[in-house]
Amino acid sequence: MKTSSVAFKSQDSHTLEKIPSLNCQSTDTEEPPGKSFIISNIEEEPPSCTTNGRYRFFWDVSDASWKDWKWQFRNRITSLEQLIQLLPLSVEEQAQIQTVAKRYPLSITPYYLSLINPSDPNDPIKKQSVPCIHEITMSSFGMEDPLAEKEDSVVPGLVHRYPDRALMVLTDICPMLCRHCTRKREWRHGAWTRTDDQIEAMLDYFRQHTAIRDVILSGGDPLTLSTSHLETIIAKIRQIKHIEIIRIGSRFPVVLPQRIDDELCNMLSKYGPIWFNTHFNHPREVTPEAAAACDKLVRAGVPVNNQTVLLRGINDSVEIQTKLAHALLKAKVRPYYLFQCDEVQGTEHLRTSVDVGIKIIEGMRGHTSGLAIPNFVVDLVEGGGKVPLNPNYVLSMNDSELLLQNYEGKVYRYRNPKTRNRKEEAVAAPPVSGVVESLLEDAALPVKTKGEAHADRVIVRP
């Protein structure tokens, strides 16, 4: 493998070269054109933080450049020519990259690429960032716009679906093109940001619709805008009295944490309450740099929530999700959502069955704190909105009692209080709550011992 720093051409912050990407492995029946994979003789251990990867891939980049988010953004890896200087790729894989690039381009920050273990063909960081031939071979599955955002766009860039919330899509530019992106359809339309006139049209809509109390800034990634530009937009939103909350959706803390600098945090601190939703998918992404970025936001008075996407072969196990949740809490980030991967064209190879997500939540329950367990949700097609899905702990229920099964598989009777008048309360004896013993056999309930109930809790892949 050639070791090279960023000797390639820097890229302007408002352009995206459309280029290809790499092979990945899948259990699906459709096979990519080539299967061979070159593994370089590199350390077996994946990097625990960016230090090892940085000096493996970008040894001659100065500390000042590495910590400069604008340098990181300008020097994104966006071509096959750049990628082959950094990762081992076979001839077949390079051909596959060219094929995928015609439809779904490539963009990876140097920081995020430094997290990849190049000796692991199934590296979870690589699978999220380097294109896979199945993006093309399985493209008959899914939809371009499964959430029907175009149908709910009231003015260009403004999605108003829920009565009290609205989403501002400020740009389609991202520091990294995540292979599971919900707005993957935008990659083929070039790089753009909303004009001042378009922003003003959105603000006018807010002024006229007083039910809107919560505004989400999204993209692309809104933090690709300069801090001053972003402040102009946020300040104008803050002038609208009925808007109570501003949320920012950004993956910068994960893929380019250097962006979360003092200038940005000082600006955000002036316009609270602002909530920050980010997007960690794997515990290896919670590096010291990423944790420091989240800490800066929290210290600026900006709470940070995380929205994970459930991805096949990346984080589809109880073990990985639990490690991720614990790493996030240590970094002062709340695990908020675990999303079923949307039905987006070009992402089918990364989607799991819904049952996997339910089993993950079931496997985490009782084995970590409730604070660490995200809500597993499906965002319905055609603008149906988010629906939470949970394991079924309610075996039966009536007006007087419930039969509930706990995380160990034990069944309990629980008294169900209901409104009664005083006369009824004096004569009616309530049912007694407690563990059910005599009813188990009659009810034919599949009760397991604690060990049996969780013997397979680590791996839940179908």
Query: Which of the residues 104, 296, 342, 359 is marked catalytic?
Result: 342
**Is 342 tagged catalytic?**
yes
238 and 245 Cβ atoms separated by less than 8 Å: no
**Is 181 tagged catalytic?**
yes
**Is 323 tagged catalytic?**
no
Query: Which of the residues 174, 265, 294, 341 is marked catalytic?
Result: 174
**Is 183 tagged catalytic?**
yes
Query: Which of the residues 68, 120, 152, 162 is marked catalytic?
Result: 162
Query: Which of the residues 54, 127, 183, 184 is marked catalytic?
Result: 183
Query: Which of the residues 103, 213, 334, 386 is marked catalytic?
Result: 386
**Is 423 tagged catalytic?**
no
Checking DSSP bridges between strand 274-278 and strand 304-310, what pairing results, if any? parallel
Query: Which of the residues 111, 172, 179, 181 is marked catalytic?
Result: 181
Query: Which of the residues 24, 132, 178, 265 is marked catalytic?
Result: 178
Query: Which of the residues 165, 207, 213, 238 is marked catalytic?
Result: 165
CB neighbourhood size of 237 (10 A):
17
**Is 294 tagged catalytic?**
no
**Is 341 tagged catalytic?**
no
Query: Which of the residues 67, 74, 103, 161 is marked catalytic?
Result: 161
The type of residue at 16 is L
Query: Which of the residues 123, 145, 221, 379 is marked catalytic?
Result: 379
Q: Which residues pair with 413 in a beta bridge?
A: 403, 434
Q: For the chain, give the secondary structure using H, E and C.
A: CCCCCCCCCCCCCCCCCCCCCCCCCCCCCCCCCCCCCCCCCCCCCCCCCHHHHHHHHCCCCCHHHHCCHHHHHHCCECCHHHHCCCCCCCHHHHHHHHHHHCCCCCCECHHHHCCCCCCCCCCHHHHHHCCCCHHHHCCCCCECCCCCCCCCEEECCEECCCCCEEEEECECCCCCCCCCCCCHHHHHHCCCECCHHHHHHHHHHHHHCCCCCEEEEECCCHHHCCHHHHHHHHHHHHCCCCCCEEEEECCHHHHCHHHCCHHHHHHHCCCCCEEEEECCCCHHHCCHHHHHHHHHHHHCCCCEEEEEEECCCCCCEHHHHHHHHHHHHHCCCEEEEEEECCCECCCHHHCCCHHHHHHHHHHHECCECHHHCCEEEEEEHHHCEEEECCCCCEEEECCCEEEEECCCCCEEEEECCCCCCHHHHHHCCCCCCEECCCHHHHHCCCCCCHHHHCCCCCECCC
**Is 386 tagged catalytic?**
yes
Show which residues are catalytic: 161-162, 165, 174, 178, 181, 183, 342, 379, 386
